[in-house]
Amino acid sequence: MNELQLLLITAISLGFIHTLLGPDHYLPFIVLSRARRWSLSKTLWITAFSGVGHIVGSVVLGITGVALGISLSKLELIEATRGNLVAWMLIVFGFFYTVYGIFQYLKNGHHMHLPKFLLPKSIREYRHLPTTEAEEVKEDTTKLTPWILFLIFVFGPCEVLIPLLIFPASEHNWFGVFAVSALFGIATVATMLLTVFVGYTGTSLIRFKQVEKYMHMIAGSVIFISGIGIRFMGW
């Protein structure tokens, strides 16, 4: 087995391992799919789209870096900076989504024993809507959430990919550079899809009727905790 073949096997292995050990690669998709009631096919499409963006961002950085002769230490520093940025993006997104979940919980009348003066005007008005109109307001039609996830993943670094690209690039083996990138990307996206599929299928077997009213808050909290874990605990 030559060095390039060994590198390709390593790329596949690391693509699988780094995705499986990074809950931020799949938890946001699982919890948001339950909160926003996405179908399995829609969830997997959003996961795949975000995963490809995740890989392309690091591949472009890596290939550009090695082509310009930027040192490995500088490329790793750039990736670390991107990692911190994404962690804060997850924290901010998770926080505001949790706030959104609280608002939805109140708006949908799950906490009616609160004094009227403590509720926002929009919620007070919603309480007096006829049932059919209330159900129409309750419907989720926003398409912003998938684009936010995609943007976060585009900025997300693949720290283990950059060192893998250095060896074939140093030998001017551009086939090796693209082969490593492709296999690492396929392994990463495939693992994301498999993990999200298992998580989606598993959670669909659980009766969420009693906790449905909390799902947006749960989703936001999970994303927020994931960002905290990445930023401060090295997940």
Q: For residue 82, what pLDDT band results from cuts at 50, 70 and 90?
A: confident
**What residue type is 149 in one-letter code?**
L
The answer, yes or no, to whether residue 134 has pLDDT greater than 80, is no
Spatial separation of the C-alpha atoms in residues 110 and 52, rounded to whole Å:
39
Q: Are 98 and 220 in contact (CB under 8 A)?
A: yes
Q: What is the pLDDT of residues 192-220, one digit of tens each?
A: 999 999 999 988 777 666 667 778 888 88
**What are the backbone dihedrals phi and psi of residue 129, each rounded to the nearest 5 degrees, phi first?**
-70, 150
- How many Cβ atoms from other residues are within 10 Å of residue 57's Cβ? 17
Query: How far are the Cα atoms of 35, 105, 112, 162, 186 from residue 204, in angstroms, in the given order?
Result: 12, 21, 29, 37, 26
**Distance between start and end Cα atoms, the chain:** 33
Helix intervals (H) in 108-143: 121-126, 131-138
Angle between the N-to-C axes of helices 174-204 and 161-170, in degrees from 0 to 180, rounded to the nearest 10: 160
Checking if the pLDDT of 109 tops 80, the result is: no
| Angle at alpha carbon of residue 159, lines to 154 and 165, rounded to 5° | 100
Across residues 122-130, what is the average pLDDT?
48
Q: Which amino acid is at 90?
A: L
Given this model, what pLDDT does residue 170 score? 66
Task: Give the single-character DSSP code of 129.
Answer: S
pLDDT at 130 over 80: no
Whole-angstrom Cα distance, residue 221 to residue 76? Answer: 30
Query: How many whole angstroms separate alpha carbon 130 and alpha carbon 96?
Result: 29
Residue found under tokens 């009693």: 210
Grade residue 120 by pLDDT with cuts at 50, 70 and 90. Answer: low
- Give the model confidence (pLDDT) of 17-64 as tens digits: 989 988 889 999 999 998 888 999 999 999 999 999 989 888 888 888
HSE, side-chain direction, 13 A CA sphere, residue 80: 8
**Confidence category of residue 90, pLDDT binned at 50, 70, 90:** very high
Task: Examine the pLDDT at 117 and tell me if it is beyond 50.
Answer: no
- Count of CB atoms situated within 10 Å of the CB of 223: 27
